[in-house]
Chain A
Amino acid sequence: MSRAIEAGARLPEWSLPITPTIVVSTALATRDFQDVHHDRDRAQAAGSKDIFVNILTSTALCERYVTAWAGDQVQILGIAIRLGAPAYPYDTLTFTGEVTEVAEDDGRRVATVKVVGAVSLGNHVIGTVKVAVGGSAA
């Protein structure tokens, strides 16, 4: 099901506690084997505090956040993210979002959703998600 979506609508806040299991399982599930996403010794030797969430997962979590709110049947058209503070284990990644625009595009209603995923160090990800939310507005 997809919901009626209007500009200005706010998405409910969603918090994801980051664990080593989340960092490692998502990195490997995205087929990203860079050691900084699964080996704390190597991550620290490279100057990081710990292993950290990879970029494909930051994108995927934006997809999850917007789809869970808009409805499983929507079509995600694009996810543009800017990366900030790393997401380390034992931190919490908290997403907020707002619909900034709903426009007609080729017979579809396309919503632009701005999402921010914040950790204790600041914003981890600032994203713009384009999502087709159904047919023409009535």
Chain B
Amino acid sequence: MTGEELVPAEVHEHVMAEAARIQAWGEAAERTARDEVNQATINTWLDAMGIDNQRFSAGEAPPSMAQVWTMYGLGGTPADDDPLHAMMRVLTDAGFTAVLGTNSEQTYDRYLEVGERLRITTALDSVVGPKATGMGVGYFVTSRSTWYVDTVAEGTGEVTAEKVATMLFRVLKFIPAKAEA
């Protein structure tokens, strides 16, 4: 059985056409973090993770908190132009209703500092499938997020965007195996 026969050809063609359309958006869903990197949020995170490191009470933020600053939060909803969520909607509507996070690959150019405010963009990196997995038949959807700190030059007002962190995030969107019978 070839990969394409795991799902009807017209469904696969629709999924891949939508993927190409959303990929063409490039770095989209640009947002600025609600809050600056701040000590109270860092302290709550340190308590929960059980970390005691003097650096994180002296102005630096833990590197893997990069993603925390731009989370949508309670009641927050992704923008319509968020490529990951747009692709997830396409797959949900095509019957691939279940989701499972499979990979997160983060890079940190430097540790962030209290007082900085992050900006994030997200692009659809790839959609690969259909694949028959232990969970069911589905597509792997990979997005790429980039975090920036913008600095405004005094005098000229020129804005410099400094990339500070990246994330490649992959999910499996699938039809639950037990639902296929």
Q: Which residues of A come within 8 Å of B, CB atoms?
A: 16, 22, 25-26, 28-33, 47, 55-64, 67, 72-73, 75-83, 130
Contact of A81 among B55, B71, B103 (CB under 8 A): B103
Q: Are A73 and B55 in contact (CB under 8 A)?
A: yes
Interface positions of B from 135 to 168, Cβ below 8 Å from A: none
B163 to chain A, nearest CB (A): 13
Whole-angstrom distance between the Cβ of A131 and the nearest chain B Cβ: 10
Does B105 lie within 8 Å of A78, measured CB to CB?
yes
Write 22 A-B pairs (CB below 8 A) sorted by A numbering: A16-B50, A29-B47, A30-B71, A31-B68, A55-B101, A59-B64, A60-B49, A60-B62, A60-B64, A61-B49, A63-B64, A67-B53, A73-B55, A76-B64, A76-B108, A77-B107, A77-B108, A78-B105, A78-B107, A79-B104, A80-B103, A83-B101
Known: A72-B55, A73-B55. A80 touches B104 (CB 8 A): yes
Q: Which of B103, B107, B176 contacts A82 (CB 8 A)?
A: B103
Residues of B within 8 A of A81 (CB): 103-105
Chain A residues, CB < 8 A from B44: 29
Q: Which residues from chain A contact B50 at a C-beta distance below 8 Å? A: 16, 64
Contact (Cβ within 8 A) B68 A72: no
Which chain A positions have C-beta within 8 A of B53? Answer: 67, 72
Cβ of B106: which chain A residues have Cβ within 8 Å of it? 59, 78-80
Contact B67 A33 (CB under 8 A): no
Which of B49, B50, B62, B73: most chain A Cβ within 10 A?
B49
Q: In the complex, A82→B142 CA distance in Å?
A: 13
For the complex formed, measure the closest distance between the CB of A63 and the CB atoms of chain B, giving whole angstroms: 5
A33 interface neighbour in B45, B63, B74, Cβ under 8 Å: B74
Q: Which of A16, A59, A61, A64 is close to B104, meaning CB atoms less than 8 Å apart?
A: A59
Q: Are A76 and B63 in contact (CB under 8 A)?
A: yes
A75 surroundings in chain B (CB, below 8 A): 63, 108, 110-111
- Give every chain B residue within 8 A of A33 (Cβ-Cβ): 73-75
Q: Residue of A at shortest CB range from B176?
A: A47
Q: How far is the CA of A28 from the CA of B49 in the complex (A)?
A: 11
Q: Which residues of A contact B100 (CB under 8 A)?
A: 83
A32, A72, A73, A78: most-surrounded residue (chain B CB, <10 A): A78
Q: Which of B105-126 contact A (CB under 8 A)?
A: 105-108, 110-111
